[in-house]
Amino acid sequence: MRQRTEKTDYNNNMEKTDNEMEQIQKGLEHFLESEVDGMELREGPEEEVEPEEEEIEPGEEREGEMKKEKRDREEQEDRRKRGGGRTKRSGLKKFLVFLAVVIALFFAGLYIAVGAVYDRMNSVQEGSMKGPLKKDGVTSMLLIGSDSRTAGTEGRSDAMILITISDRTKTVHMTSLLRDMYVDIPGHDGNRLNAAYAYGGPELLMETVNQNFGTEVYHYAVVNFEAFAGLVDAVGGVELELTAEEVQWVNAYLNEYNELRGMPMETDYLDTSLSGNIHLNGAQALAYCRNRYIGTDFARTQRQRNVLSAVMKKLPSALLTNPGGLVNGLFPNLTTNLTRGECMRLMLMAGKLLSYDLVQDSLPLDGTYSNATIREMAVLQVDFEQNRAYIRKEIYGEE
């Protein structure tokens, strides 16, 4: 975990940030000034040509003087108009330079804000997988839900969701990866997918996903119980459809969570007479997602995506109304190998994502797996060829 206690490092980072933003500002100003100057050269006044002198007959002297006076007045008017054009271009130049300064200040503020949030995360860089955040028009990241009660990468991978943002298909995919899939794990015998996390943490898990599904994901975020509940609370809770049986299991899972956080056993219990559309706070949403007893693991991962989808819809307004709650509730309990610059790139993509379609998936696809028992383990035996073809088409836009 990165150490952030050295005051010297902090000051050096701040000086680096100031220098970077100063260079951005100067670069913008220089670019706009050169463009406007070029525009003035391209649109400058035409070269004035002195009229040839004509011989004037004595009887035409007065008429010639009148013509000369008229020509002088016209030339003065032309110069006045050209001077006005230069004034307008000068005003445009000042406006563009002012705009450059505003843009530079905006990005400086955004850079500092992202840095402040980044410092609240648990960043892991040493020994991290090396690969692009975005490739072939697709930004990929693996979201890992850990059953750990503290920040870090220890514990089991309770949830694995591949987040992909595709500029080619204009979609944001949330694809759950079922933990019981039997996969080849590099350096180990075949096993369930979540065993890869137990063997080698998020790095080995990503390598396993890439090898078996043909994906190219090299970045991850691990969130623990507290992070998940804190995120839901920060957006003001979520509205979800629950059956009467799901309500019963929410209360059952709250028992363990309340004990872990030292709360009375019945804290956040739902009214067992309720069903249908119910407002859930963070602890209740966490209990809803952890339910393993209604439906298969497909149903459990669907519940996880239901909560994440509801959170994503409320996230833009929460960023404006409760930024402190988001920062304090989520980021201290999040561990990632994203760099500060990559976080900045993701932040700049936020506006574009509002126009993209949100798609929920789970792998393996229906009809591409069968139940099996291997070395006394109940697993899903998967046709990976079909699943890889689906990913390349739906996410990467390949035919």
Would you kindly state where each structural domain of the chain is located, as residue ranges?
7-42+69-119, 131-394
| Count of other CB atoms within 10 angstroms of residue 229 | 25
pLDDT, residue 130, reads: 78
Q: What is the pLDDT of residue 128?
A: 65
Q: Is the Cβ–Cβ distance between 250 and 266 less than 8 Å?
A: no
Which amino acid does the sequence have at 270?
A: L
> Can you give the pLDDT at residue 192?
94
* pLDDT at 14 (0 to 100): 42
pLDDT tens column, 329-365: 888 888 999 998 888 888 888 777 778 998 989 999 9
Say which CATH class 131-394 falls into. alpha beta
Distance CA 174, CA 305 (A): 7
What pLDDT was estimated at residue 6?
Answer: 40
> What pLDDT score was predicted for residue 104?
63
pLDDT at res. 39: 47
Give the pLDDT of residue 9.
44
List, as one string, the DSSP characters of 43-74: TPPPPP-PPPP----GGGHHHHHHHHHHHHHH
160 token code pair:
């694995």
Which regions of the chain are under pLDDT 50?
1-18, 32, 35-36, 39-54, 56
DSSP helix/strand/coil, 371: strand
For the segment 1-36, what is each residue's pLDDT rounded down to a tens digit?
434 444 444 344 444 444 555 555 555 555 545 544
Residue 41 is predicted with a pLDDT of 46
Taking the whole predicted model, whether its pTM rises above 0.75 is answered as no
pLDDT at position 364 is 96
What is the per-residue pLDDT for 399?
Answer: 74
Beta bridge partners of 295: none
Q: What secondary structure letter does DSSP report for 249? A: H
DSSP string, 206-222: HHHHHHHH------EEE
Q: Alpha carbon of 10 to those of 78, 109, 194, 313: distances in Å?
A: 60, 17, 38, 35
